[in-house]
Amino acid sequence: MLKLLVVPYFVALLHICGAAVAADVTDERLHIVIPAGPGGGLDATARAIGRALVSDQEVARVSYENRTGGGGGKAMAYFVESNDSLRDTLLVNSTPLLIRSLQGLFPHSYKDLTPLAGLIADPGVIAVRADSPYQTWADVVLAMKQKPGKLFVGGGSVKGSLDHIILSLLVDKVGIPPRSVRYLPYDGGGKAMLALLSGEVDILVSGLGETLSQQKAGSIVLLGMTAEQANPTFPQVPTFKAQQVDVVFYNWRGLFAPSSTEPEQRDQWITQLSNTVAGEEWQLQLARYGWQPLFLPGDEFVDYLSEQEIMLKAVLLQLGLVR
Amino acid sequence: MLEGIMTGIATALTLSNLSWVVFGCIAGTFIGMIPGLGPISAIALMIPISYSLDPAGGLIMMAGVYYGAVFGGSTSAILINAPGVASTVASSFDGYPLARSGKAGKALAIAAYASFFGGTFGAIMLMFFASTLALLALQIQSPEYAALILFAMTSIVVFAQPGQRFPSAVTLLLGLMLGTVGTDQLGGVQRFTFNQIDLTDGIHFVLLVMSTFALAEAFRLFIAQSPRSEQKVSLRDLKLAKSEVRKLTPVAGRSALLGFVVGVMPGAGATLASFFAYDLEKQIGDGSLEAGLTAPEAANNAASTGSFVPLLSLGIPGSGTSAVLLGVMLAYGLQPGPTLIVEQPEVFWGVIISMYVGNLLLLLLNLPLIPYLARLINLPTKVLLPLVIGFSLIGVFLTTFSVFDLALMLGFALAAGLLRAYGFPLAPLLLGFIMSGLFEENLRRALMLSSGELSYLLDRPITLFILIACLLICCIPLWNRRSA
């Protein structure tokens, strides 16, 4: 019995030793603030890039801090307010950062941070049940136009948030006013998926990462994704662009440094991240989670953010959710 | 099926996987005992370790952490009236009085046996009916949830002590009101947050439960200074008399069945299950404290096993905890869902079989600890009270890291103390608070689906059935009065 107990501790100990060995190469430390609870997508992203940075010996040790609350607002407030006193500390964030600061849910925006790099990007998808009468996006659009207000679209977050915005971008492009579409919010993508499977809603708007497993299982069909081009690993999911609906939208996840970061320090971080995303460990992590890479270093990331902010603002205006 | 079970046994009983289930159960049960740290924190803490394991071993460990934490979670509810997670609130109703009345050891033992029963029963059900029951999860939509929660709220008021019905209704409504603070689940609107970022996520459950249960009780003990007899706790307390076993086994049986079925439905599975089981026992059982503790304990353990049904067979997390587990599975490159049983039978069956081992182990692990844990209640008040207060404050601070919340907590504790002093029960307040968001969300969605027609609720047979059941139980007091 006692022996059995010792084994796991021994394994854990080995890992600690492993980290100590890596420390001989570089003694740089990194601390990542995560504006969400453990176990979610942002948390996984932070831990995956952290592992990759350690494994590629860019840094010696990475620690993580989950700061939940205020829909990410608490972590932002902490990060922006303790600006100067933060050493070797980065913040991981995603598209909702832009949405929430546009809606004024917290006083800070990405401009109060130093964007370092976008790491991964999840396109939005529209899904229906495998036995649905609508088997293409064109079918859905036709039905929405013929019977306005009869189709229900489920999504995993509140009105005016990511899923609702993706839906609004798509319907707006085909001439349906976004406000006329019946969007039903659920508490998380999982419950929204259940609502689709149980037939409570006709259509689901979600992220590619959250729906791919059900698509593989054959219980749902993905009618399209808001990616730039089709992915060779799952060619059966068409892009909306290929269906003459010119919507390209990604939920990015990326890393930010405090706004007081010196340019040299910023460049050093970007170099380290560039090396790491090209490395084997990061590729392994991407494959493990089924993430789509979208590496946008430094200024490219800033440009992307400002473009996306303009796009988001336009949709939110249309939905009447910002003034 | 038989082949699957054999695969599972072969996977679960390897030396390394056995040691992982041991490790998971021990870690889970100890973390679960700390007030404020429930299954979800326990699992999150173990994520880094799970990454270094193979999928089957890692999931077996994580599942062990999960039900280990549920198993251990009732300890603080019973001993110091501080249920750390929503699903153990009902265990404190009769568990705490039982412990105060000089039977702390017995209360903990009953909880351990009931948990073991519930967990094992759940594992059996999971083994045989996982794919069948997954269909049940698909039958339950927003109107059914709304009706089910209405039923839970109705029964806590109707089944209160006769003189307590009106006060129960009042505190239930108070709880519902407190639940509206924060960001509106559907529209994203801020309600009663006074532009305080600390309130945008609403009032934290642990905060409310610690202030209304643990702190309010500590204040009461402080004022009352009731003389207490020294309790002697020995290993003999752990043995239940034959008559008691005969009395409690059917209680555990029906509660576990109820718990498992409710647990299968994604949502507030374990919490609803434990409240339902408690209410049911108060109605049809003999009303003893022992039965009142057995019921929610058996139910919440069976329900947490039940929540593996939608996770493993549909790939859909039914609770916050199983959402974290889903994340762990995805990190292994596993695709939970209908294909899991075909593509990764050793994971699917290995996890299920390991649950038998884990539950037995938890029983063996918890029983010898009971005499030591139960001694806590013998501490003099001047030592125990600061401990309770300290634990509650730390429990809240560990979950939210906010000083604002500590101040809020003291305010709630004072208010709760006053409510109690004037004879208002606080359990309905907690139920109202827990169910508030869920009830509103599902009711509003049901109404959106029907364009505001309430009659939509009546078009659905399951909803109609539950609503009629609600009406019927409202008649019970009238009927009792007439016959009396």
Q: Name the pairing type of β-strands A152-155 and A113-129.
A: unpaired
Higher pLDDT, B31 or A92: A92
Q: Across-strand partners of A127?
A: A204, A222
Q: Which of A25, A81, A20, A158 is nearest to B197 (CA)?
A: A81
Quote the radius of gyration of chain B (alpha carbons, Å).
22
Of A4, A38, A197, Cβ closest to residue B18: A4
CB of B48 within 8 Å of a chain A CB? The answer is: yes
pLDDT of res. A9: 46
- Are B335 and A40 within 8 A, CB to CB? no
Question: Which 192-221 residues of chain B touch chain A by CB within 8 A?
Answer: 197-198, 200-201
Query: Which residues of chain B are within 8 Å of residue A102 when distances are taken between CB atoms?
Result: none
Q: Quick one: tokens of B221?
A: 């003990």
Query: Which residues of chain A are within 8 Å of residue B317 when distances are taken between CB atoms?
Result: 188, 190
At A57, is the secondary structure helix, strand, or coil? coil
pLDDT of res. B456: 73
Query: Which residues of chain B are within 8 Å of residue A187 when distances are taken between CB atoms?
Result: 185, 441
Of B20, B51, B200, Cβ closest to residue A70: B200
Measured CA to CA, the distance from residue B449 to residue A150 in angstroms comes to 9
Question: Which 124-163 residues of chain A touch chain B by CB within 8 A?
Answer: 149, 152, 158-161
- Are B140 and A198 within 8 A, CB to CB? yes
- CATH 3.40.190.150, chain A: domain bounds: 2-121+251-318
Question: Which 245-274 residues of chain B touch chain A by CB within 8 A?
Answer: 266
ipTM (interface predicted TM): 0.82
Q: Which of B273, B186, B96, B56 is nearest to B447 (CA)?
A: B186
Measured CA to CA, the distance from residue B86 to residue B80 in angstroms comes to 15
Measured CA to CA, the distance from residue A296 to residue B358 in angstroms comes to 46
Measured CA to CA, the distance from residue A221 to residue A208 in angstroms comes to 12
Of B16, B26, B138, Cβ closest to residue A198: B138
Q: Are B430 and B208 a contacting pair, CB within 8 Å?
A: yes
Give the chain A residue nearest B401 (alpha carbons). A67
DSSP A222: E
Q: What is the dihedral of CA A188, B328, B85, B82, to 10 degrees?
A: -150
Query: Which residues of chain B are within 8 Å of residue A44 when distances are taken between CB atoms?
Result: 327, 330-331
Q: What is the mean pLDDT of residues B368-396?
A: 83
* Residue carrying structure tokens 């021990």: B26
Q: At what angle do helices B89-98 and B269-284 cross, to 10 degrees?
A: 50
Q: Name the pairing type of β-strands A113-129 and A89-94.
A: unpaired
Count, residues in chain B:
484
Q: Quick one: tokens of B364?
A: 């063996």
pLDDT of A38 > 80? The answer is no
Query: Which residues have CB under 8 Å from B434's CB, separation 6+?
Result: B86, B89, B175, B179, B205, B268, B271
Q: Quick one: tokens of B127?
A: 């083994």
pLDDT of A11 > 80? The answer is no
Query: Which residues of chain B are within 8 Å of residue A217 when distances are taken between CB atoms?
Result: 315, 335, 337-339
Higher pLDDT, B241 or B401: B241
pLDDT of res. A130: 94
CA distance B342 to chain A (A): 11
Question: Which 296-315 residues of chain B touch chain A by CB within 8 A?
Answer: 310, 314-315
pLDDT digits (tens, 9 = 90+) for A248-305: 999 999 999 999 999 999 999 999 999 999 999 999 888 877 788 999 999 999 999 9
Cβ neighbours, 10 Å, residue A181: 21
pLDDT of A160 > 70? The answer is yes
Measured CA to CA, the distance from residue B197 to residue B144 in angstroms comes to 34
pTM: 0.84
pLDDT of res. A10: 44
Q: What is the mean pLDDT of residues A148-172?
A: 92
pLDDT of res. B232: 66
Q: Are B57 and B354 a contacting pair, CB within 8 Å?
A: no
DSSP B211: I
- Are A47 and B44 within 8 A, CB to CB? no
CATH of A2-121+251-318, one of 3.40.190.150, 3.40.50.150, 3.30.420.40, 3.90.226.10: 3.40.190.150
Q: What is the dihedral of CA B185, A167, A305, A290, to 10 degrees?
A: 90
At A49, is the secondary structure helix, strand, or coil? helix
pLDDT band at B322 (very low <50, low <70, confident <90, very high): confident
Measured CA to CA, the distance from residue A276 to residue B62 in angstroms comes to 30
Provide the CA B196 distance to its chain's centre, in angstroms: 30
- Are A184 and B449 within 8 A, CB to CB? yes
Q: At what angle do helices A41-55 and A280-289 cross, to 10 degrees?
A: 160
pLDDT of res. B484: 60
Give the chain A residue nearest B25 (alpha carbons). A5
* Ranges A111-125, A144-158, A200-214, B210-224: which has the least confidence: B210-224
Q: Are A156 and A188 a contacting pair, CB within 8 Å?
A: yes
Highest averaged pLDDT of the listed ranges B337-346, B388-397, B440-449: B440-449
Question: Which 3-32 residues of chain B touch chain A by CB within 8 A?
Answer: 15-16, 18-20, 22-23, 26
CA-CA distances (angstroms) from residue B133 to B140, B253, B261, B318?
Answer: 12, 18, 8, 13
Q: Are B259 and B118 a contacting pair, CB within 8 Å?
A: yes
- Are A219 and B338 within 8 A, CB to CB? yes
pLDDT of res. A181: 93
At B141, is the secondary structure helix, strand, or coil? coil
Query: Which residues of chain B are within 8 Å of residue A160 when distances are taken between CB atoms?
Result: 188
Query: Which residues have CB under 8 Å from B480's CB, separation 6+?
Result: none
**CA angle at residue B380 from B377 to B381, to 5 degrees?**
90
* Ranges A272-276, B4-8, B398-402, B444-448: which has the least confidence: B398-402
- Are B324 and A44 within 8 A, CB to CB? no
CB of A108 within 8 Å of a chain B CB? The answer is: no
Q: Quick one: tokens of A126?
A: 């529209």
* CATH topology for the A122-243 domain: D-Maltodextrin-Binding Protein; domain 2 (3.40.190)
Cβ neighbours, 10 Å, residue A204: 32
* Segments making up each domain of chain B, as ranges: 2-483
CB of B331 within 8 Å of a chain A CB? The answer is: yes
pLDDT band at B335 (very low <50, low <70, confident <90, very high): confident
pLDDT digits (tens, 9 = 90+) for A46-88: 989 998 999 999 999 999 888 887 778 888 988 998 888 888 9
Phi-psi group of A122: left, alpha or beta (phi > 0 → left; psi -120 to 50 → alpha; rest → beta): beta
Higher pLDDT, A98 or B76: A98
pLDDT of res. A175: 92
Q: Which of B315, B326, B358 is nearest to B12 (CA)?
A: B358
Measured CA to CA, the distance from residue A60 to residue A24 in angstroms comes to 8
Q: Quick one: tokens of B184?
A: 């509106």
